[in-house]
């Protein structure tokens, strides 16, 4: 009897751990996060669009531009590339509240180059961001997460998977 209860308990725990509610969220959150200019951005702002969100913590921020460039270089010739909603994200959890203004000043001052300033880590927690790396999320127009890549410098295989997911979305939503 004890073995049966133990086995059932183990199966129950395994099912809970494998459940999507305990792991990575599988759709675009309806977040509400300010950028470095104090403008509020919401997940609903990009609803119905193909979304590429590139984010990182401080140690991974040095790699985000390389990933962004890899996506742009591979897809900028696609006739529907301009329809992709690009979101830049900064994971600022753990930053002391008294340096928020200082940190905002470290981000681009061009209003067209805003970055989501995620002080609570809402997005990295929900999508299980890899630390010290760039994280690239691709969402379909229905909000479904269709691809998550992460790493430091983008490698060919990771970029191929990312581009393939985006091409498929761009081509099917014609």
Chain-wide mean pLDDT for the chain?
A: 88
Give 95's contacts (C-beta < 8 A, 6+ positions apart). 103, 119
150 or 19, greater pLDDT: 150
CA distances from 173 to 18, 19, 37, 120 (A): 31, 30, 33, 34
**Domain boundaries of the chain, sorted by first residue:** 25-172
What are the φ/ψ torsions at residue 29 (nearest 5 degrees)? Answer: -65, 150
In 3D space, the residue among 66, 67, 72, 61 whose CA is nearest the CA of residue 107 turns out to be 61
CA 51 to chain CA centroid, nearest Å = 9
Just give the CATH number of 25-172.
3.40.30.10
- For the residues 99-105, what does the mean pLDDT come to? 95
pLDDT at 24: 67
E-state strands within the chain = 32-34, 40-42, 51-56, 85-91, 116-118, 134-139, 145-151
Tokens coding 21: 């509610």
Does residue 143 carry a pLDDT above 60?
yes
Q: Where are the alpha helices (DSSP H) in 26-155?
A: 64-75, 100-104, 122-126
- Is residue 122 over pLDDT 80? yes
What would the pLDDT profile of 36-94 be if each residue is shown by its tens digit?
Answer: 999 999 999 999 999 999 999 999 999 999 999 999 999 999 999 999 999 999 999 99
Instruction: Work out the pLDDT band at 3, boundaries 50, 70, 90.
Output: low
- The whole-number pLDDT of residue 25 equals 76
For residue 113, what is the DSSP state? Answer: G
Cβ(130)–Cβ(42) below 8 Å: no
């Amino acid at each position: 009897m004890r073995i049966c209860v133990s086995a059932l308990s183990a199966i129950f725990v395994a099912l809970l751990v494998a459940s999507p509610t305990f792991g990575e969220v599988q759709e675009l959150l309806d977040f509400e996060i300010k950028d470095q200019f104090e403008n509020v951005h919401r997940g609903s702002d990009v609803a119905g669009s193909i979304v590429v969100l590139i984010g990182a913590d401080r140690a991974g921020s040095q790699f985000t531009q390389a990933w962004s460039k890899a996506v742009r270089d591979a897809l900028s010739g696609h006739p529907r590339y301009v329809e992709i909603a690009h979101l830049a994200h900064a994971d600022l959890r753990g930053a002391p509240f008294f340096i928020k203004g200082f940190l905002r000043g470290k981000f681009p001052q061009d209003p067209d180059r805003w970055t989501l300033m995620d002080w609570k880590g809402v997005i990295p927690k929900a999508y299980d961001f890899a630390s010290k790396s760039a994280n690239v999320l691709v969402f379909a127009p229905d909000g479904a997460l269709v691809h998550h890549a992460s790493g430091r410098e983008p490698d060919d295989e990771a970029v191929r998977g990312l581009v393939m997911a985006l091409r498929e979305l761009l081509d099917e939503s014609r």
